[in-house]
Structure 1
Amino acid sequence: MPEILTVLPPVLAIIVAMLTRNVYAALGLAIIASETLIANFNPAMGALGSIDRAAAVFESPGNTRVLLFCLLIGALIAWMRDSGGVEAVVSGLMKRGLVSTPRRAALAPALAGTAIFVETNVSLLSSGVLGQRLFDAHGLSRERLAYIIDSTSAPVSALILLNGWGAYALGLVEPYGFESPIGVVAGTIPWNFYALLTLAGVYLTVFTGRVFGPMKTAGLNRDVLVEDEEAVAPTRSIYMWLPLLTMIAGALAFMAWTGGGNILAGNGSQSILWAVCLAMLVGGVLLAMGKAFPKGGLQARGFAGIAEMVPVVAILFLSIALGDSLRVLGTGTFMASVAEAFVSPIIVPAVVFVVAGVTAFMTGTSWGTYGIMIPIAMPLAVALGIPPSLALAAVLGGGVFGDHCSPISDTTIIASLAAGCDHIEHVRTQLPYALVTGGIAVVMYLAAGVWVSLA
């Protein structure tokens, strides 16, 4: 089979998703296409293989934990929202003048997304829950909220690296015999141009209030919908902040515990699942003691919140299955081989960034991209005399760039969920920002390549 055909399934998924706005059909067709190629163009075996591939998602404890987390967080969000806890927090912030303007309202989730760097999903959901009501109150679109939280949470995780991202990158770098692998990973911060520029772009947008592209018209029909929504009276702010604080602190504590005292070595999926269960316990007891819901209401609202998450979890489930299938098909390996063809030190950082971005875009996973691209980038860096931190930063930034552009990315899916907006609309409105920032990053990587060559 020609290797170029390995890019057909992800391309099919992206085209169908954009044209039909039906992500379920897009992902399902892509899985069948991938499995059919794996089965040597046998469509019957491809269909059967697709079923087995979907079932195999649950063979990974990490995948299962993430899916459970996304379901359970729905119950926690419903409790915080329907109890009046979110409204109480927003009301308190408004009374104190802390979110009295659209600029301040937009700044709140941006700061939350930046500060909660321990785990991307926790960051996205925490800042999204806070931002939804604030953005509605000031007439700001949910798509803009999704952009803000998506473009702070993942970039800051790829920069600070005191989290699972850092541990993963360190594990991939260590086999190459560097004197200080930790130094290589830590040294990526000034070279991670896409992440730095994306964060700067978010805060520039927040402080200036200016947007461009499809974001200008995003959410025009949202105002009517908001007016029709049933208002929830503010009750006690502790119904929101205590479970949320429990989840964040629990994620940190469990990361340290599962890592034997080292957060970097902790188990991310296990920690966030334990943390959300602990937060639900705290929230459930708090709401029961405060009689926030009528008899049986706590359970009913919890299941209703879980039901709200089912469509998004289905997309995430299909995305994971597609990613697994594409790894077997060899899509990422083919994309990585493209990078190997360019051996000039001047263009290698830029090429690595672009190929990592395209790979993440097509596979929908930045971490999967890292597993493919870091083993390519590190030997290239050593052979050509390129600073390993520069090459690693290009991979890390490229993975986030591809995720931000991809409609099949798990982080864009969860960002849409957290902001409460249509997933395809989030991708469509965020895409111009990602492309502009990615283009500038390519130029900066070319300049870095020239600088390294002359040094």
Structure 2
Amino acid sequence: MEGTIFSIIPALVMLVLVLLTRKILLSLGTGIIIGALFIHNFHVLPAIQEIFHVFIIIFYADGSIQIGNILLLLFLVLLGIMTAFLQASGGSRAFGEWMMKRVKTRTGAQLMTVVLGFIIFIDDYFNSLAVGQIARPLTDRHKVSRAKLAYLIDSTSSPVTVLSPISSWGAYIIGILAGLFATNQVTDIKPLEAFIKMIPYNLYAILALILVFIVIYMKFSIGPMYKHERKALEKDELLSSHRMPPGDLSKTFTAHAGGKSYQLFIPILVLLVITIISMYATGLQASSNNASIFEVFANTDVNLSLFLGGISSVFVALVFYVRLPRPRASLSKIVKEGTQTMIPAIVILLLAWMIGSIIGTLETGEYLAKLVMQANINPAFLPFIFFLIASIMSLSTGTSWGTFGIMLPIAVDVLIITDISLLLPTLGAVLAGAVFGDHCTPISDTTILSSTGAGVHHIDHVVTQLPYAFIAATAAGTGYLFIGLTGWTLIGLLVSVVTLFLIVFTHQLLFKKEAIS
């Protein structure tokens, strides 16, 4: 069933179950089992072996230990331990009180979260986790629901990094373009120049960022998000249940009365500085002599950098804690509780990697790509078609980077044959579709880590973000149709922005609800 229409079924079943049951582990597990059965034509024993195999290769594959995966999991553990120290030391509480004196409104608290997302543009993983740790004490005190916080984090992390040439995403994309242009003898434009010129065509990323500000300033809370925000404001219920989500230890430790705001700020600053320095150092080590900044970031080891930043920040937080007079919690309890709170996130991430591997074996992405290659389509519709296919592929596979790697080469091949003038719009549409699908799928690394950073149940984040993602995607799709049919880039961008506002205003008129202040 590999490479056929049946290869879509496991991902489709998983997504439907997520929406119907809101049980993420059940949905991921079902998708893995169905996928394994499809791979082995419903023979049970080989399917069980396949499931065991895709778990093992997370840690050991091709005769070597998968250091990168292990380091990322260890970083999550370190993040949990650091969070425990910040909570037990009173640093989180003190920082919240300090910020409350300066940021006095819910709008200001949400805006600060978004500004942090723009500032920490270097990598989506780091963005998702660091912004949550900094913003959560403030948004909690202003009764911003954790689901809203997760949305703000997720809808700035990937869009910002995919629009920035100096980021792990930008460097990766520029590297792909360099290889494609060399192979196809595209000499009239350089990879960096192409990336920058593609930015106006990355409509979904641009619109997602605009929509974030609309959500904040117009208090545009819709669907499940409205319910979460109502509960947060009226009942002080920031979460949908009393079950502790990953990354949240607010009810586990009693904050130390002598805590200071710098006990939160400095460990996170250390995390930021050490991670960025490590990213540059590892990238420089893996690059050629006289490498450009883009080549350096294309070769950086993100997971090792996160681990080094994490262990450094934990050490600083430990030093601050042991210097407190009469610490209330033992070090062993802090390490234990910090580790335990990250176990749910780690389990979800492991299952996401497993189903990603299953879907890769089923060649779901290749099947979708083959449909594009075989279809006889009017070139004017190619930006829209590639946006749609990249969205479905990213949604199914849970990986933006994998979608870039599959769809960008196909887009270049198709456009060189059909209409080279639409090359950059179509490549921009691929990037946009990959980010849109990434925002919708529960198996995306960034989506999982945004939930963890915000301290919210993962399924709550997935369900509440979907309406906003589809609004931005609908407006983006309109823009791609206009660009393809007319060739007018800036007017196409303007049309998509106008469409976005029309959707928002129409919703506000048709579904009048009391605004959440």
TM-score, structure 1 as length reference? 0.93
Q: Is the 8 A contact 1:162 1:264 kept in 2?
A: no
2:310: which partner in 1? 276
2:169: which partner in 1? 165
Q: Is the 8 A contact 2:224 2:464 kept in 1?
A: yes
1:268 to partner: Cα distance: 1.4
Letter in 2 for 1:275: G
1:128 to 114, 117, 132: 132
Q: Is the 8 A contact 2:411 2:427 kept in 1?
A: yes
1:46 to partner: Cα distance: 0.8
1:299 to partner: Cα distance: 3.4
Map residues 303-314 of structure 1 onto 2, 5 A cutoff: 303-314=336-347
The answer as to 2:214 corresponding to 1:213 is: no
1:153 to 152, 157, 180: 157
In structure 2, the CA distance between the partners of 1:291 and 1:153, relative to structure 1 (3 Å rule), is farther
* Partner Cα separation in structure 2 for residue 445 and residue 197 of structure 1: 13
Q: Is the 8 A contact 2:95 2:137 kept in 1?
A: no
1:94 to 91, 100, 121: 100
2:178: which partner in 1? 174
1:298 to partner: Cα distance: 2.8
1:270 to partner: Cα distance: 1.7
In structure 2, the CA distance between the partners of 1:218 and 1:351, relative to structure 1 (3 Å rule), is same
1:380: which partner in 2? 414
* Partner Cα separation in structure 1 for residue 361 and residue 177 of structure 2: 23
2:122: which partner in 1? 118
Q: Is the 8 A contact 1:3 1:334 kept in 2?
A: yes
Map residues 52-451 of structure 1 onto 2, 5 A cutoff: 52-59=53-60, 60-95=66-101, 97=102, 99-176=103-180, 177=182, 178-179=186-187, 180-222=190-232, 223-225=235-237, 230=251, 232=255, 233=257, 235-260=259-284, 262-291=296-325, 293-294=327-328, 297-340=330-373, 341=375, 343-383=377-417, 384-451=419-486
The secondary structure found in structure 1 opposite 2:166 is: coil
Mean alpha-carbon deviation: is it higher for 15-24 or for 337-346? 337-346
* Partner Cα separation in structure 1 for residue 489 and residue 9 of structure 2: 40
* Partner Cα separation in structure 2 for residue 69 and residue 314 of structure 1: 14
In structure 2, the CA distance between the partners of 1:30 and 1:292, relative to structure 1 (3 Å rule), is farther
* Partner Cα separation in structure 1 for residue 489 and residue 69 of structure 2: 45
* Partner Cα separation in structure 2 for residue 34 and residue 193 of structure 1: 33
Among all aligned residue pairs of Structure 1 and Structure 2, give the percentage whose two residues are the same amino acid.
Answer: 32
Mean alpha-carbon deviation: is it higher for 102-111 or for 203-212? 203-212
Letter in 2 for 1:299: S
* Partner Cα separation in structure 1 for residue 457 and residue 376 of structure 2: 39
1:305 to partner: Cα distance: 1.2
* Partner Cα separation in structure 2 for residue 290 and residue 241 of structure 1: 16
* Partner Cα separation in structure 1 for residue 297 and residue 327 of structure 2: 37
Letter in 2 for 1:112: L
1:130 to partner: Cα distance: 2.5
> Over residues 70-95 of structure 1, what are the superposed CA-to-partner deviations in whole Å (9 max), with x where a residue is unaligned?
22211111211221111111211222
1:250 to partner: Cα distance: 1.4
> Over residues 146-177 of structure 1, what are the superposed CA-to-partner deviations in whole Å (9 max), with x where a residue is unaligned?
11111011100111131211222122222222
> Over residues 256-305 of structure 1, what are the superposed CA-to-partner deviations in whole Å (9 max), with x where a residue is unaligned?
111116334312122112111121122222322345734x7233212211
In structure 2, the CA distance between the partners of 1:452 and 1:219, relative to structure 1 (3 Å rule), is closer
* Partner Cα separation in structure 2 for residue 299 and residue 386 of structure 1: 62
Q: Is the 8 A contact 2:204 2:433 kept in 1?
A: yes
1:393 to partner: Cα distance: 1.5
The secondary structure found in structure 1 opposite 2:58 is: helix
> Over residues 228-272 of structure 1, what are the superposed CA-to-partner deviations in whole Å (9 max), with x where a residue is unaligned?
975635711111111111111112111111111633431212211
> Over residues 300-324 of structure 1, what are the superposed CA-to-partner deviations in whole Å (9 max), with x where a residue is unaligned?
2122111101011100111011111
Letter in 2 for 1:375: P
Aligned length: 452
* Partner Cα separation in structure 1 for residue 324 and residue 32 of structure 2: 48
1:132 to partner: Cα distance: 2.2
The secondary structure found in structure 2 opposite 1:66 is: helix
* Partner Cα separation in structure 2 for residue 367 and residue 170 of structure 1: 12
The secondary structure found in structure 2 opposite 1:421 is: coil
Letter in 2 for 1:190: P
5+ residue gaps in structure 1?
none
Q: Is the 8 A contact 2:155 2:209 kept in 1?
A: yes
Mean alpha-carbon deviation: is it higher for 281-290 or for 100-109? 281-290
Letter in 1 for 2:223: G
* Partner Cα separation in structure 2 for residue 55 and residue 102 of structure 1: 45
Mean alpha-carbon deviation: is it higher for 348-357 or for 59-68? 59-68
Letter in 1 for 2:384: A
Letter in 2 for 1:258: T
* RMSD (Å), alpha carbons: 2.2
* Partner Cα separation in structure 2 for residue 90 and residue 299 of structure 1: 26
Q: Is the 8 A contact 2:144 2:238 kept in 1?
A: no
TM-score, structure 2 as length reference? 0.83
* Partner Cα separation in structure 1 for residue 367 and residue 300 of structure 2: 31
Letter in 2 for 1:118: I
Q: Is the 8 A contact 2:121 2:164 kept in 1?
A: yes
The secondary structure found in structure 2 opposite 1:41 is: coil
Q: Is the 8 A contact 1:83 1:292 kept in 2?
A: no
* Partner Cα separation in structure 1 for residue 18 and residue 237 of structure 2: 25
